């Protein structure tokens, strides 16, 4: 058992790719070692700006030997009547390089054959490693590879050196066009020269002395701890998004955190703009107070241990000041006119060539949001329809602002700031930011009633419009993010407990594209059908992500509920039903009933003739059905689907006895049709909640 060290030294690797490259390298090498049956105790990956490395400890020296059985001709064909080997047997033996006398008999189910047990000796690990590492490098997820100088070898960045060692000995090989060795390089500035690695186990410690923290996770933890300590000194919390933390970790070998400040006057600017520019452009960690309000400080990570850190701090403060001043300029410039005035320029800005301007979209959003608000009012919600219309008209105004022009991610947020400065009602101002929620899977939903109306109206308008011009998503292409919008609609209606029918919403959204000159939608019926089908198809993606089984989703989709909240209640009821001891039998019985009814050549009656129930089992089932119908009626009115299915579970035994003792397809047509009518009533009871026959229990 020994330790293998592999290091690929490069020019600075792309910071956003460093962590994925590390993980992919480790995964590929691990998989290849397992396939080659080379055992090892542990494998550790390292990743720093100028290197990717693997340290494999307790690795076996060679592959295990293995026996391979070669099978030849049948015994009857291999030996003649006197027991002498035939030409077939001798040819088989010659092909293996052995004498015929060394052949053995192999017994199988299909007869006896001659054969040979061949021992294949495993290769030395050191003979396999170069190919394993080269294959792993070739398979790394690199979007665009490059060549360096005259070299024909391609990689994401020019390769400078390659280390490949077994304990203290170099493994002689060529990887990425470089001869392997035992020399590495330290920090680009603090320790730029080559240094000999005495033993593969010394790698991490040696680099630590050369001002390189090679372990990505360890380096990241150092950054987090230093940032927290500096934030605590000014009683603040640091904003540390994981993506930014990963990127900063990938930019430095030897992280040193420093805190700088900026003029408090910049805090009048929307803090989202300041945070955006400091994070995206400068890779800074911003600080807030305990209430989440931005403080006039930021923390940055330097890669140099400076004798005079103040110079570095002052340099960063000098760099960030013009960026913050730009944000301040745009913010003040926008305030020279009220937010509503910005809507004028929306009349010349195109939303989509065939669907008109952004101003027209704002008008449609306002009308549709008012329609939704009226529905919410009917359900007892406190919402002002005039304010909802106002919010709809202002919903896209900030797209014409200088601030959003510079920071597109602030759309909605800027609108909320400007609306408050213009003394718009708070309900209107808050909704302008909330209209874009949820922005991604698992994101928060809009909280205010008007925000909910805008969020639904905006997404529905886009869905209907894009489907109307035949730009529906195909494959992985979804330029208008319609899949995300559809799931956003479903989530809002379900999680906000809004009993609103999708049919009404989609129909109203389609009407929004009509005016005195006609409709922008040529095929309204087709558009309605396609949008409804698209929305219904999103249930599967949404619920499978929550761990709901596909058959449960299909059971509810089979009856096609049009109200997302109702759909969700049915899903929860079927999930609970699936846990019952009777569930499996009832699912099978429902399949059987569905098949019998589907094969019926005559129209099955809705009512049962009690006088024709001759068998005790069918009488018992009918009595149970009548009892169940009475019991579930009030439950259905309350949409208590879970209790409905719990109640219907009582049909378990009567159904079993019915199928055990009653011949449905009786030769007597009247009896047969009456029994089919009884089964139709059983089926109808379950279909009030879901198609239980879809369950695979």
Give per-residue pLDDT as tens, 456-489.
999 999 999 999 998 888 888 888 899 999 999 9
Domain count, the chain: 5
Helix (H, G, I), strand (E, B) or coil at 423: coil
The CA angle 410-414-420, to the nearest 5 degrees, is 155
Q: Is the pLDDT confidence value at 633 over 80?
A: yes
Helix (H, G, I), strand (E, B) or coil at 407: coil
pLDDT the model gives residue 397: 97
Q: How confident is the model at residue 335 (pLDDT cuts 50, 70, 90)?
A: very high
503 in Cβ contact with 443 (< 8 Å): no
When the pLDDT of each residue in the chain is averaged and rounded to a whole number, the result is: 92
Q: Is the pLDDT confidence value at 320 over 70?
A: yes
Q: What is the mean pLDDT of residues 145-158?
A: 84
Helical (H) or strand (E) element with 59:
strand 51-59
Query: Do β-strands 66-74 and 111-120 pair in parallel, antiparallel, or remain unpaired?
Result: antiparallel
Indicate whether 189 and 289 sit together in one domain. no
pLDDT the model gives residue 120: 74
Give pLDDT tens digits for 76-131.
Answer: 888 887 888 888 888 888 888 888 777 888 888 888 888 888 777 778 889 999 99
Phi and psi at 440, nearest 5°, equal -155, 170
Give the contacts of 160 (CB within 8 A, at least 6 positions apart).
9, 10, 11, 50, 185
**Is residue 264, in this structure, part of any structural domain at all?**
yes
**Is residue 278, in this structure, part of any structural domain at all?**
yes
Indicate whether 290 and 397 sit together in one domain. no
Rounded Cα distance between 267 and 33, Å, is: 56
Q: Measured in whole angstroms, how far is the alpha carbon of residue 416 from the centre of its chain?
A: 30
CATH of the domain at 137: 3.30.70.260
Give pLDDT tens digits for 192-204.
Answer: 999 999 999 999 9
Radius of gyration of the chain measured on its C-alpha atoms: 36
In terms of Cα–Cα distance, which of 220, 221, 250 is closest to 156?
250
Helix (H, G, I), strand (E, B) or coil at 369: helix
Rounded Cα distance between 157 and 13, Å, is: 6
Indicate whether 45 and 132 sit together in one domain. yes
Rounded Cα distance between 358 and 349, Å, is: 6
**Is residue 556, in this structure, part of any structural domain at all?**
no
586 in Cβ contact with 658 (< 8 Å): no
In terms of Cα–Cα distance, which of 356, 243, 259 is closest to 300?
259
Q: Is the pLDDT confidence value at 407 over 90?
A: yes
**Is residue 687, in this structure, part of any structural domain at all?**
yes
Phi and psi at 528, nearest 5°, equal -60, -50
Give pLDDT tens digits for 270-282.
Answer: 999 999 999 998 9
Task: Tell me the two tokens of residue 184.
Answer: 């590495």
Give pLDDT tens digits for 529-560.
Answer: 999 999 999 999 999 999 999 999 999 999 99
Rounded Cα distance between 73 and 286, Å, is: 77
Q: What is the DSSP letter of 62?
A: B
Give the contacts of 382 (CB within 8 A, at least 6 positions apart).
449
Helical (H) or strand (E) element with 114:
strand 111-120
pLDDT the model gives residue 516: 59
Indicate whether 91 and 226 sit together in one domain. no
Give the contacts of 155 (CB within 8 A, at least 6 positions apart).
10, 137, 142, 145, 146, 148, 176
Give pLDDT tens digits for 664-690.
Answer: 888 888 888 888 899 999 999 999 999
**Is residue 482, in this structure, part of any structural domain at all?**
yes
The total of other beta-carbon atoms located within 10 Å of residue 12's CB is 14
Going from the C-alpha of 423 to that of each of 132, 418, 426, 625, 630, the distances in angstroms are 67, 9, 8, 63, 57
pLDDT the model gives residue 149: 74
Q: What is the mean pLDDT of residues 370-398?
A: 95
Give pLDDT tens digits for 635-663.
Answer: 999 999 999 999 999 999 999 999 888 88
Indicate whether 143 and 221 sit together in one domain. no
215 in Cβ contact with 53 (< 8 Å): no
Would you say how long the chain is, in residues?
697
**Is residue 552, in this structure, part of any structural domain at all?**
no
Q: How confident is the model at residue 442 (pLDDT cuts 50, 70, 90)?
A: confident
Of 487, 519, 547, the last residue of a domain is: 547
Indicate whether 382 and 360 sit together in one domain. yes
Indicate whether 392 and 301 sit together in one domain. no
Give the contacts of 511 (CB within 8 A, at least 6 positions apart).
none
- What's the per-residue H, E or C state across 440-487? CCCCCCCCCHHHHHHHHHHHHHHHHHHHHCCCCCECCECCCCHHHHHH
Q: Is the pLDDT confidence value at 74 over 90?
A: no
**Is residue 558, in this structure, part of any structural domain at all?**
no
Q: Is the pLDDT confidence value at 217 over 70?
A: yes
Indicate whether 489 and 419 sit together in one domain. yes
410 in Cβ contact with 270 (< 8 Å): yes
Rounded Cα distance between 444 and 117, Å, is: 65
Helix (H, G, I), strand (E, B) or coil at 78: helix
CATH of the domain at 626: 1.10.730
Indicate whether 249 and 396 sit together in one domain. no
The total of other beta-carbon atoms located within 10 Å of residue 184's CB is 24
Per DSSP, the residues of 161-199 read EEEEEETTEE---EETTEE-BSEEE--TTTS-SEEE-S-
In terms of Cα–Cα distance, which of 205, 163, 161, 214 is closest to 187?
214
pLDDT the model gives residue 97: 83
Q: Is the pLDDT confidence value at 517 over 70?
A: no
Task: Tell me the two tokens of residue 320.
Answer: 């960030």
pLDDT the model gives residue 167: 95
Rounded Cα distance between 649 and 692, Å, is: 11
Rounded Cα distance between 251 and 246, Å, is: 9
Q: How much of the chain, in percent, has pLDDT values that exceed 70?
A: 99
Q: Is the pLDDT confidence value at 436 over 70?
A: yes
Q: What is the DSSP letter of 122?
A: P
CATH of the domain at 533: 1.10.3210
Q: Is the pLDDT confidence value at 518 over 70?
A: no
Rounded Cα distance between 684 and 271, Å, is: 58
**Is residue 248, in this structure, part of any structural domain at all?**
yes
Task: Tell me the two tokens of residue 514.
Answer: 């009509």
Give pLDDT tens digits for 572-627.
Answer: 999 999 999 989 999 998 999 889 888 887 788 888 888 888 889 989 999 999 99
Q: How confident is the model at residue 394 (pLDDT cuts 50, 70, 90)?
A: very high
330 in Cβ contact with 402 (< 8 Å): yes
Indicate whether 308 and 359 sit together in one domain. no
pLDDT the model gives residue 145: 87
Going from the C-alpha of 96 to that of each of 71, 74, 115, the distances in angstroms are 11, 17, 10
Indicate whether 573 and 615 sit together in one domain. yes
Of 334, 368, 386, the last residue of a domain is: 334
Give the contacts of 259 (CB within 8 A, at least 6 positions apart).
230, 231, 233, 234, 297, 298, 299, 313
Give pLDDT tens digits for 39-73.
Answer: 999 999 999 999 999 999 999 988 887 777 788 88
Q: Is the pLDDT confidence value at 501 over 90?
A: yes
Of 175, 209, 243, the last residue of a domain is: 209
Indicate whether 504 and 486 sit together in one domain. yes
Please confirm whether the linkage preceding 438 is cis (ω < 30° from 0).
yes
Q: Which domain holds residue 408?
A: 341-547
Task: Tell me the two tokens of residue 340.
Answer: 């509503």
């Amino acid at each position: 058992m020994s330790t293998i060290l592999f290091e690929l030294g490069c020019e600075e690797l792309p910071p956003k790719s460093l962590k994925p490259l590390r993980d992919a390298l480790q995964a590929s090498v691990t998989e290849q070692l397992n396939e080659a049956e080379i055992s090892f105790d542990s494998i550790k990956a390292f990743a720093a700006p100028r290197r990717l490395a693997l340290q494999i400890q307790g690795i076996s020296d060679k592959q295990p030997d293995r026996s391979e059985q070669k099978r030849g001709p049948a015994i009857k064909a291999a030996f003649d009547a006197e027991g002498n080997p035939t030409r077939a047997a001798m040819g088989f033996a010659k092909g293996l390089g052995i004498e015929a006398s060394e052949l053995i008999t192999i017994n199988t189910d299909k007869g006896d054959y001659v054969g040979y047990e061949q021992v294949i000796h495993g290769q030395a690990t050191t003979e396999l490693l170069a190919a394993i590492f080269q294959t792993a490098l070739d398979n790394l997820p690199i979007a665009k590879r490059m060549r360096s100088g005259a070299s024909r070898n391609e990689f994401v960045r020019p390769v400078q050196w390659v280390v490949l060692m077994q304990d203290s000995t170099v493994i002689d090989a060529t990887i990425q066009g470089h001869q392997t060795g035992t020399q590495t390089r330290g920090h680009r500035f603090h320790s730029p020269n080559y240094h000999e690695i005495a033993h593969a186990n010394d790698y991490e410690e040696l680099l630590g002395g050369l001002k390189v923290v090679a372990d990505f996770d360890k380096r990241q933890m150092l950054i987090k701890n230093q940032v927290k300590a500096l934030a605590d000194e000014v009683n603040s919390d640091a904003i540390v998004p994981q993506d930014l933390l990963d990127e900063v970790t990938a930019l430095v070998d030897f992280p040193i955190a420093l805190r700088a400040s900026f003029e408090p006057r910049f805090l009048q600017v929307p803090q989202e703009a300041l945070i955006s520019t400091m994070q995206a452009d400068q890779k800074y960690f911003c600080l807030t107070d305990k209430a989440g309000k931005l403080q006039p400080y930021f923390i940055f990570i330097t890669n140099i241990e400076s004798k005079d850190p103040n110079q570095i701090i002052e340099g960063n403060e000098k760099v960030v000041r013009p960026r913050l001043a730009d944000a301040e300029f745009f913010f003040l410039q926008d305030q020279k006119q009220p937010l509503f005035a910005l809507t004028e320029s929306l009349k010349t800005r195109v939303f989509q060539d065939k669907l008109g301007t952004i101003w027209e979209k704002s008008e449609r959003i306002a009308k549709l949001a008012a329609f939704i608000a009226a529905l919410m009012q009917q359900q007892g919600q406190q919402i002002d329809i005039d304010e909802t219309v106002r919010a709809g008209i202002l919903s896209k105004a900030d797209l014409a602002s200088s601030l959003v022009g510079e920071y597109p991610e602030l759309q909605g947020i800027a609108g909320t700031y400007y609306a408050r400065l213009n003394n718009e009602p708070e309900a209107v101002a808050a909704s302008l930011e909330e209209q874009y929620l949820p922005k991604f899977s698992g994101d928060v939903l809009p909280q205010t009633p008007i925000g909910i109306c805008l969020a639904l109206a905006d997404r529905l308008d886009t869905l209907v419009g894009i489907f109307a011009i035949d730009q529906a998503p195909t494959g992985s292409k979804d330029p208008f993010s319609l899949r995300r919008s559809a799931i956003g609609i479903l989530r809002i209606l379900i999680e906000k407990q809004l009993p609103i029918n999708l049919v009404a919403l989609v129909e109203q959204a389609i009407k929004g594209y009509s005016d005195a000159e006609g409709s922008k939608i040529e095929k309204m019926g087709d558009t309605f059908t396609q949008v409804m089908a698209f929305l219904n198809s999103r249930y599967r993606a949404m619920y499978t992500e929550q761990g709901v089984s596909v058959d449960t989703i299909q059971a509810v989709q089979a009856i096609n509920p049009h109200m997302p909240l109702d759909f969700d209640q049915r899903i929860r009821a079927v999930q609970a039903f699936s846990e019952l001891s009777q569930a499996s039998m009832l699912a099978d019985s429902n399949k059987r009933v569905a098949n019998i009814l589907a094969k019926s050549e005559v129209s099955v009656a809705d009512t049962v003739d009690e006088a024709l129930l001759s068998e005790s089992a069918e009488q018992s089932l009918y009595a149970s059905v009548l009892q169940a119908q009475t019991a579930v009626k009030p439950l259905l009115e309350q949409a208590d689907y879970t209790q409905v299915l719990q109640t219907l579970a009582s049909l378990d035994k009567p159904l079993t006895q019915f199928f055990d003792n009653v011949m449905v397809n009786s030769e007597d047509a009247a009896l047969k049709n009456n029994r089919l009518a009884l089964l139709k009533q059983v089926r109808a009871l379950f279909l009030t909640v879901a198609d239980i026959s879809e369950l695979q229990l």
